[in-house]
């Protein structure tokens, strides 16, 4: 592939924090020209999410905003606002925005306003709680949605321990991914009909999407799922076990894999026990089976168990920290940590390749307003 699939498209990102900027990053490294629009003199608040810093910018901002151009405008200024609108109409193919509810409309930059002026435009709103409903005007953030969307209710250890959030911004980044999916679908519709679309995604809808299995279970049974730690209520054994020196994750998701696990453990008698012969039995008798497995796993190191389990093709993995992941041979083989000119340390590349070629970063994250003169102020009103 001589160029990335979205080459030739121009995206205006009126985004801040993580959700819209992550979507903009994906679109940029898939080939689009992404112009990040920030508030004059202030910019995206993620610029101050440090330490750590990378090349003078908060590492978080550098992470989500590389490969973009950057302009700054004051939406309260009629001339600058009109210049931005003209830039969108003249050059924009896609607008991506997660401003406060109503802010884009008040500035004359809302989806209905712009698509009336340019019917081929694809306009994507990243809402907090959604486009409709009693909470549609409320602001929202990733941890709030992990709480409100139910993820915290199924994350962490059972018992009276405090709820915990998932350790990454999974709602923000998930909403950004849905934004990209919606935009790509809208591009397909544009090719078919010649008309653009208004795409709506939200943090809350993304949270509900991640909760598909627990919600489906509740709707089927009327029982509220609880926290399971590293395990699952419907599969046994499917959890972390402490070893002699650390921990190992076991995912024996069917009866055949359980038989292989028992061979690796030297306990084929467990596979022959009628209580444990099927997954349904193992779930019913988990309080009997799991202590036995815990005692066995505690007798060897994680490395020893990894080798024994690999021989029997039992799905298992050591619990790695970020340093382990960065140093892993598989990470290097996939070239997921890329070093580019202009960045002082490697970055995490997009998890996708085309004909064996992984998208590359075009440039570091822009300084505030770095491209304003080149892009915005040359647009005549």
Residues in CB range of 337: below 8 A, 6 or more apart: 326, 331, 346, 347, 348, 349
3-state class of 261 per DSSP? helix
Residues in CB range of 121: below 8 A, 6 or more apart: 88, 92, 93, 94, 95, 114, 115, 196
CA-CA-CA-CA dihedral for 258, 262, 265, 267, to nearest 10 = 150
Residues in CB range of 375: below 8 A, 6 or more apart: 35, 69, 71, 87
102: region left, alpha or beta (phi > 0 left; psi from -120 to 50 alpha):
left
Give the 3-state secondary structure of 49-84. CCCCEECCEEHHHHHHHCCCEEEEECCCCHHHHHHH
Phi, psi dihedral angles at 276 (to 5 degrees): -110, 10
Sign of the CA dihedral with 179 first, then 93, 36, and 342 last: positive
Any catalytic annotation for residue 93?
Answer: no
Buried b / exposed e along 154-191 (16+ C-beta atoms within 10 A): bbbeeeeeeeebeeebbbbbbbbbbbbebbbebbeebe
Token code pair at residue 112: 């209905």
Report strand pairing: 94-97 vs 10-14: parallel
**Shortest CA distance to 172 belongs to which of 144, 194, 152?**
144
Residues in CB range of 200: below 8 A, 6 or more apart: 124, 125, 127, 130, 131, 182
3-state class of 117 per DSSP? helix
**Shortest CA distance to 230 belongs to which of 254, 214, 250, 210?**
250
Token code pair at residue 172: 């923000």
**Shortest CA distance to 48 belongs to which of 62, 35, 36?**
62
- Residue of 44, 93, 142, 172 marked active site: 172
Catalytic annotation, residues:
172
């Amino acid at each position: 592939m001589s160029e990335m699939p979205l080459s030739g498209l121009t995206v205006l990102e009126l985004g801040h924090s993580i959700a819209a900027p992550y979507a903009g990053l994906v679109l940029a490294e898939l080939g689009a020209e992404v112009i990040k629009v920030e508030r004059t003199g202030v910019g995206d608040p993620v610029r101050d999410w440090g330490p750590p810093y990378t090349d003078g910018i908060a590492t978080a901002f550098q992470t989500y905003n590389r490969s973009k151009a950057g302009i700054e405008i004051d939406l309260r200024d009629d001339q600058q606002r009109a210049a931005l609108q003209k830039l969108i109409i003249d050059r924009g193919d896609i607008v991506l925005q997660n401003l406060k509810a109503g802010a884009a409309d008040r500035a004359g930059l809302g989806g209905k306003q712009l698509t009336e002026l340019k019917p081929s435009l694809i306009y994507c709103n990243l809402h907090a709680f959604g486009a409709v409903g009693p909470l549609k005007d409320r602001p929202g953030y990733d941890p709030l949605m992990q709480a409100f969307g139910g993820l915290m209710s199924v994350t962490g250890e059972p018992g009276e321990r405090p709820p915990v959030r998932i350790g990454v911004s999974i709602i923000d980044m998930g909403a950004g991914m849905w934004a990209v999916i919606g935009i790509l679908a809208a591009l397909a519709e544009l090719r078919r009909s010649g008309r653009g679309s208004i795409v709506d995604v939200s943090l809350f809808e993304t949270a509900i999407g991640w909760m598909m299995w627990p919600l489906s279970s509740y709707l089927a049974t009327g029982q509220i799922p609880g926290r399971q730690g590293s395990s699952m209520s419907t599969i046994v054994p499917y959890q972390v076990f402490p070893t002699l020196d650390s921990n190992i994750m076991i995912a024996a998701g069917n009866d055949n894999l359980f038989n292989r696990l028992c061979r690796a453990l030297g306990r084929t008698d467990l596979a022959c026990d009628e209580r444990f012969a099927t997954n349904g039995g193992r779930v019913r008798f988990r309080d009997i089976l799991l202590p036995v497995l815990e005692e066995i796993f505690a007798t060897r190191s994680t490395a020893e168990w990894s080798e024994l389990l690999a021989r029997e093709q039992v799905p298992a993995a050591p619990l790695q920290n970020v340093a382990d992941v960065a140093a892993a041979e598989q990470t290097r083989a996939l070239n997921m940590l890329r070093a580019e000119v202009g960045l002082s340390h490697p970055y995490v590349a997009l998890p996708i390749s085309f004909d064996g070629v992984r998208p590359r970063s075009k440039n570091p994250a822009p300084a505030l307003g770095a491209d304003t003169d080149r892009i915005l102020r040359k647009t005549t009103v």
